[in-house]
Structure 1
Amino acid sequence: MQMKSGFRRMHAGWYAGACLLALAVLGLVLYGTGTLGTRDDRSLDRACDGTLAQGGLRAALHSSDLSAGDEGDGDYLTACSVHTAESGPQGSSLRLKLRWSTAAPPSDTLTWYNADYNGVRAQAAPLGHGWSGVVRRDGTYQVMVTLDCVNQKNKALVAYGDLLGTANSSTLGGLGRVTTETAQKAAGKHGCQVRAGKRLTSLSTARLGPPGTAKPLERAQGSCVALRGTAAARNGMPEVMEYPADPDAPQTNCYLVTKAKKPGYGLYAYYGAAAKDFLSSEGSRLKEGYGPTHGDRDYAWATATCPQSAQPAVFVLYRLYDRDTDTYPVPHHSASFADAALKAFADHEAKQHGCTESSKAPRTGATV
């Protein structure tokens, strides 16, 4: 009897072990096919050719239930998107596209340079924290970062991160972290040595908004500081909209604002890959007698040579168009004022970025 009892216990143990083994095998099969919840984590690991940085994803999308997929865009080094499980208005997504500065520039819909004469649509604020990047807004938010390859002359990795969904300082901080750290990982994977900035934790949305943020010109301290002491006030521009000064930013914006709180002139500086893309998006040729092509737009432009890139920096001033009223807040374009304002802005910007003074005198475009 005792022997039979022991035999039964042996069989019971064997059956239990077999069941556990079967469950383990089933678990491996489910894991391998992505049926278990780990599928999303594995799709994140594969996204953007394995370079997707996941540190800021949950902050950017307000969710831990995420999945990713590649965009399959042959025009880029890599492209991918990350989505939350929610659909409709509750859902959010983040899209990343990375390219080399030596490749063909992206479409206008991605870079938004074609909106720089439409009020504040092309506004951009620096990322700060040592990153060569900006955060932009045109209905949705985008972070762009350019990382120069210190071991490959005149080559940079350019990354664009677009956030579709709820935006605040926390989600934008997540977007900034994902975009910058993904760019850093991708650069390293392809042998491009870069100087990275510090980890981004938040980005302020207060820098990007309506002209209600305007302040008196004499109080300018950031991107518009060079316009203090100019004739802007006498030309109907007593206020400015400006952004923190940042010598690392690939784009700088300053807006001269009317008494009615309408941006009348926009001043823009572009450096390195951003300058190259800006000129390409405008269909321009950087030769004597040629500048940004804007049809009948009022503008002035200048260039400067900078040590970081063989691409000259580009400085542009536009008389802005107000899409809300279908009018120009500044009714008459003053070419002499535009040239003087641009020269002050360009010389100051060039100095801050270690470039030569604006190497060509400002040239004025068509007058409406």
Structure 2
Amino acid sequence: MGIAALTLYSTGAYASWRDQRSLDSACDGTLAQGGLDAALNSTHARARADDPDYLASCLINRPDTRQHGGALQIRLRWSNQSATLAALAPFGQNANGVKGQAAPLGSGWPGVIRYDGTAQVVVALDCQNAKGKALLAYGDLIRWPEDAEATGPVLTGLGRVTTETAQKAADKYGCLAKGGTRLTHVSEPTPPRSMAPRSLATAQGSCTGLRGIAGQAAEAGVPDAVAYPEDTDTPQVNCYLFTPDKKPGYGLYAYYGALAKDFQSSDSLEHTDDYASATAHCPRSAQEAVFVLYRLYDRETDSYPVTHYSDQFARAALKTFAAHEAKLRGCTGVHLASSP
């Protein structure tokens, strides 16, 4: 072996060159590397092709993943292709306490972040030149970098990698889409044990529209609420109504665009007894928006915090929630489905 080659191997330069090449070609050449250092808490990463069921998919990890963690997966798909079981799985958590929660990414991005031990960012870019079609990008932090000192930078890095890869992929595949600005801070959804419900009568953000039925909510056993930042770009909106003993009793969800389509293709409502649903037509998408209210189950106590489900209250709350959401986004024709 030549002296130059020996030098490359002995100094690790060859490994670094090889790993950088793997990043440059990852996810069909669409992997955006901004934010990657923060997501993995390392300046050194490598990638390889991953799941063949997607338009493109890649696994990125640190060379020392086994010792310190730090691995993420990026997957891309078109909204007009059947969603995989992995893409539909989060919808099945909606009636399980607050496990179905997601917070908006912010900065103008049509995306959400889910965080429940593991972290996932989902971005849905509508193709302006192909109505009814969107590019979806999923960023999953499948192994947390254990040497990271704070959560915020890691989640923000994951958000940057996912959003910027989505935009880069849209450009590559001919999807004329408008994303947001560079993410500088991503707020995680509130951990269940840290939730601090406030009176629904003074609720802000995603629960604002329900303030007018605060009296009915109190009579139904859910006087308080946990809300999320109001964001008209996010494809998923949550509002949770809480009992006086700080247990989530009802969960309200709004889905838009590609996420609404995926929700409707899932079977999450088929395994739930106590819920109400509605739809509306929105100007940004050919896909109907979907609004759902669930009575929530508490896994810690194996019981329902709201003992008696009120269909009358559920439909009133959902109608109010959907009407407020529709007004914010210019949607029309809110229609409540018949009771299940």
Q: Displacement, 1:364? A: 2.4
Question: Is residue 176 from structure 1 mapped to residue 153 from structure 2 by the alignment?
Answer: no
- The within-5 A match list for 1:58-97 is 58-71=37-50, 73-88=51-66, 90-97=68-75
State whether residues 101 and 238 of structure 2, in contact with CA within 8 Å, keep that contact through their aligned partners in structure 1: yes
Pair 154,110 (structure 1): closer, same or farther in 2 beyond 3 Å: closer
Write the distance in 2 (CA, Å) between the matches of 1:109 and 1:251. 14
Cα distance change of structure 1 residues 249 and 200 upon mapping to structure 2, 3 Å threshold: same
Q: How does 1:239-254 map to 2 (within 5 A)?
A: 239-254=224-239
* Contact in 2 for aligned 1:148/1:157 (Cα 8 Å): yes
Residue 88 of structure 1: CA displacement? 3.4
Match of 2:26 in 1: 47
- For the 8 Å contact 2:111–2:233, the answer to whether it is kept is yes
- 2:175 equivalent among 174, 189, 192: 192
Aligned residues: 331
When residues 220 and 43 of structure 1 are mapped into structure 2, their CA distance, relative to the original with a 3 A threshold, is same
The CA distance in 1 between the partners of 2:166 and 2:7, in whole Å, is: 33
Cα deviations across residues 300-342 of structure 1 (Å, max 9, x unaligned)? 0010011121111110000000011100000000000000000
Alignment check: 8 A CA contact 2:239 2:252 kept: yes
Q: For residues 247-289 of structure 1, give each alpha carbon's deviation from its aligned partner in whole angstroms, at most 9, with x where no partner exists.
A: 1110000000001110000000001100110111127xxxxxx
Equivalent AA in structure 1 for residue 243 of structure 2: T
Q: Distance in 2 between matches of 1:173 and 1:281?
A: 29
Question: What is the CA distance between 1:189 and its match in structure 2?
Answer: 0.4
Matched, 1:275 2:260: yes
TM-score, normalising length: structure 1: 0.85
Alignment-derived partner of residue 275 in structure 2: 299
Aligned to 1:329: 305
TM normalised by structure 2 equals 0.92
Provide, for residues 91-122 of structure 1, a one-character-per-residue CA deviation record: whole Å limited to 9, x for no partner: 11011111000111121566410010000000
Distance in 2 between residues matched to 1:214 and 1:168, nearest whole Å: 23
Per-residue CA deviations over 1:126-171 (Å, capped at 9, x if unaligned) read 0111000000123311000000011111110001101120471110
State the alpha-carbon separation in 2 of the partners of residues 201 and 340 from structure 1: 39
Query: Match of 2:140?
Result: 162
Stretches of structure 2 that go unaligned for 5 or more consecutive residues are: none
Distance in structure 1 (CA, Å) of the matches to 2:154 and 2:31: 17
Task: Give percent identity, aligned residues only.
Answer: 55
CA contact (8 A) 1:152 1:192 kept: yes
Partner residue of 2:244? 259
What is the CA deviation profile of residues 166-213 of structure 1, one whole-angstrom value per residue up to 9, with x for unaligned ones?
A: 471110000000000001011100111111101012212364543632
Q: Distance in 2 between matches of 1:78 and 1:348?
A: 37
What SS does the aligned partner of 2:22 have? helix
Distance in 1 between the 2:189 and 2:282 partners? 31
Q: Which has the higher contact order (CA 8 A, sep 6+)?
A: 2
Which residues of structure 1 form unaligned runs of 5+?
1-21, 284-291
What RMSD over aligned residues (CA atoms) do the two structures have, in Å?
Answer: 2.1
TM-aligned CA deviation for residue 343 of structure 1: 0.2
Q: Which runs of 4+ in 1 moved over 6 A?
A: 27-30
Separation in 1 of the partners of 2:264 and 2:59?
A: 28
Of 90-99 and 348-357, deviating more is 348-357
Which whole-Å CA distance do the structure 1 matches of 2:191 and 2:160 have between them? 18
Residues 1-368 of structure 1 mapped to structure 2, 5 A cutoff: 23=3, 26=5, 35-71=14-50, 73-88=51-66, 90-108=68-86, 111-163=89-141, 164-166=143-145, 168-205=151-188, 207-210=190-193, 212-230=195-213, 231-282=216-267, 292-295=269-272, 297-358=273-334, 360-365=335-340
Q: Deviation of residue 37 (structure 1)?
A: 2.2
